[in-house]
Amino acid sequence: MSRTLAPGKLVIATHNKGKLREIQALLAPYGLECLSAGELGLPEPAETGTTFVENALIKAHAAARAANLPALSDDSGLSVAALGGAPGVYTADWAEAAPFEGGPGRDWYMAMGKVEGKLAELGPDAPRDCWFSCVLAIAWPDGEAVSYEGRADGTLTWPPRGTLGFGYDPVFVPVGDTRTFAELDPAEKHAISHRADAFAKLVAAQFAG
């Protein structure tokens, strides 16, 4: 049996406020006091992995060591079948924009446009199937770690629609719906998202019973 979280403080190893809100909402029923890496002033480690699992573990281990507390990290991204799975683990890199005061900026509209542009190069009949992946990793200060992977399948739409999500949500239409993730009420998205899928596996392992 894998190690499980005890009640107390848990570092959420992200500086992404949208991602933090989703994770906090998912963790709310379990009595954990969530602190973000951002509010603790923890640096963002270089994500040098080539898979979502590797990058999630890099972030979780770095936060757990720096804060001397258990840490939960998320590595997630969009994969497009017609683009050979790109952007995949480089999802955030495709959104890198010109630096601004305080650090590099991310322009998600630019990133969505880059995906659409590459699909347009393939012609009007290019398949638009895609999926979001999410790996949640928990690490403890002593180096032990576990990870859980989730997925949400869908298709890409253009132009972007909705204002409720973040990242590539405005162009992602989940299977079984006609609305984008950014048009769904957060509670609806939490029920079907890649993060929710990974979180359900985490809950089954960490909090069952």
d(CA 60, CA 47) in angstroms, rounded, equals 11
Name the catalytic one among 74, 75, 169, 197.
Answer: 75
Check if 75 is active-site: yes
Tally of residues, the chain: 209
Q: Is 80 exposed, middle or buried (0-12, 13-18, 19+ CB in 10 A)?
A: buried
Under a CB-based contact definition with an 8 Å cutoff, are residues 62 and 12 in contact? no
Catalytic residue IDs: 75
